[in-house]
Amino acid sequence: MTHTQPWTHRYRPKSKEEIVGNSEAVGKLEKWIKSWKKKPPKKRAAFVYGPPGTGKTAAIQALAMETGFDLLEINASDSRTKNRIEAVLGKAAGQTVTVFGRPRMILLDEMEGVSGQKDRGGVTAISNVIKTTRIPIVLVATTVEENMESKFRPLRSKATLIEFQPVPFNEVYKSLERIARENGVEVHPEALDTLASRSQGDLRSAINDLETVARGKTEVNPGDIEWMGERDRQDYTPNIINRIFSARSLWEARQTISQSMIPYEDLFDWIYENLPLIIDEPGERLQALETLAKADVYQRRARSSNYRLLKYMFNLMTGGVAFSRRKSQGLGLMKQTYAAIQRIGMPLSSFQTAETKDGIMIKPIRWLGRDKWGALNSELRGMGASWTYGQNFWVLPYFREPQTKWRYITTYHSRRKMKAVAAKLAVKTHTSTQEAVTETLPLLRIIYNADQENAERIDAWLDLDDKEQEYLGG
């Protein structure tokens, strides 16, 4: 039989015995669930939290099945305002059994989706529902203990807190070994050791990595995983970005939302920043950007009217973008590196460039001079690169962080000059400063640069200082 489901889905635990790691947390959760068989406990909700890939949701699903509860799963990201929570969660919390007579339990997943400043009404509504619920409610959040107090303070006193820890190395190793064996793949012990250690307790990511390197093979050696760097919380988002752009199904792409360690708004910015690097075929890039623009429209409408629209945003920003890529080879980063070097007037022969596990290395082979070095450093930093002191080269990561803040910093002085000129222009033309910026100033700059005599007249008319003249003539 040929399996088409991802390995993380195929090997999701179906019973308590199949749950890997966190035995103490699983036992505590099981005890709380079983207490409902007698009467509602003092704390009518359980709050399960911890890093991604530690089996939180899978454990709840397995225990619900074993204890005879019918599990109703609600995505907190889709139902996070006060009115929506009261309508969906409140109604469900009053229905103790299904039409088939099975006791009901509620799983409210992705609680990190209700943690923002604008969503406090949603957290309060959940807290109010917990007070009167007649059925078990399990809350799940991908977070760590340090964030619990600030994000979920109203819920801490009303819920049994259950923390899932990273899965121990030996448990990850044994799971990978078993999965490889069941799929007819012989994995070298050293390769298994590397996969298990680099996961840092994230079993789901370890299984994903194993499936990636073992796909289409019967044997995996240490050399097959040399390209994989160390996984840490800083490069976890690049891993998510890679999964989005390489997804083969909507389900696979959509799963990255819940696996991400950052809010979906930030993930959207990561996708936007890296899209031109990965989708380098012009027609495909246009299609991907249009898809991302539609996702942004749904996000804005969701904020102003109905948060259920977020699911369309999630589908478009993940699967929609991934499916736009058909012929693109992802060569855009090297092209942009060469373009940055040429923009400052330097020949490519002045640099050694190479692809490394961390990104593209750009190393000068001779002294550039202070001005050229500063100009190139500014260009590359704007692309997300960093200078490696001691070894004297830049590293431009394959997946870069959104550079909005850096671009804002680098254009600060230019924007300040623009506002100063626009303010004087608004007074002279009896318009608003905003209208002067968008309507008049672009034409004035053309006139200013077309003729020296006109430039002098404009200088006198607006009483421009040297920096303002420099801006208009730039």
Angstrom distance (rounded) from CA 111 to CA 133: 18
Q: Name the one residue in this structure whose structure tokens are 């373009």.
A: 339
109 - beta bridge partners? Answer: 75
Cα dist. 95→19, 91, 137, 310 in Å? Answer: 29, 7, 12, 27
**Comparing C-alpha atoms, which of 168, 164, 232 is closest to residue 196?**
168
Cα dist. 232→21, 199, 205, 228 in Å? Answer: 20, 8, 11, 12
Where in 368-417 does DSSP place strands (E)?
Answer: 386-388, 393-396
pLDDT along the chain (474 residues), means of 10: 66 88 90 87 88 87 89 67 59 65 82 56 76 85 66 80 87 89 87 80 86 82 66 57 82 76 80 84 91 91 77 89 82 77 86 80 85 82 76 80 64 80 91 89 89 88 88 84
278 C-beta neighbours (distance < 10 Å), count: 26
pLDDT of residue 114: 67
Angstrom distance (rounded) from CA 386 to CA 345: 21
Residue 75 backbone phi and psi in degrees, to 5:
-85, 115
pLDDT of residue 294: 93
CATH number for 169-225 (one of 1.10.287, 1.10.620, 1.10.8, 1.20.272): it is: 1.10.8
pLDDT of residue 27: 92
Residue 246 backbone phi and psi in degrees, to 5:
-105, 5
Contact between 19 and 164 under an 8 Å Cβ cutoff? The reply is no
Which residues, in sequence order, are CB contacts of 12 under 8 Å at separation 6+? 58, 61
**Comparing C-alpha atoms, which of 336, 451, 440, 327 is closest to residue 396?**
336
Instruction: Give SS3 for 231.
Output: coil
Contact between 105 and 70 under an 8 Å Cβ cutoff? The reply is yes
Backbone conformation region of residue 200, classed left if phi is above 0, alpha if psi is from -120 to 50, else beta: left
Angstrom distance (rounded) from CA 210 to CA 458: 67
Instruction: Give SS3 for 410.
Output: helix
Contact between 394 and 361 under an 8 Å Cβ cutoff? The reply is yes
Q: Which two tokens stand for residue 464?
A: 């421009």
Question: Based on the number of CB atoms within 10 Å of its own CB, is 424 exposed (0-12), middle (13-18) or buried (19 or more)?
Answer: middle
Backbone conformation region of residue 359, classed left if phi is above 0, alpha if psi is from -120 to 50, else beta: left
Q: Which two tokens stand for residue 286?
A: 């246009």
Angstrom distance (rounded) from CA 329 to CA 277: 9
What single-letter DSSP state applies at residue 4?
-
DSSP string, 134-179: SS-EEEEEE--HHHHHHHHHHHHTTEEEEEPPPPPHHHHHHHHHHH
Contact between 69 and 105 under an 8 Å Cβ cutoff? The reply is yes
Q: Which two tokens stand for residue 34?
A: 């079983």
Query: What CA dihedral angle connects 320, 322, 324 and 325, to 10 degrees?
Result: 180
**Domain spans in the chain, listed from the N-terminal domain onward:** 7-163, 169-225, 236-322, 332-407, 411-473
pLDDT of residue 291: 93
Tell me the fold of 7-163.
Rossmann fold (3.40.50)
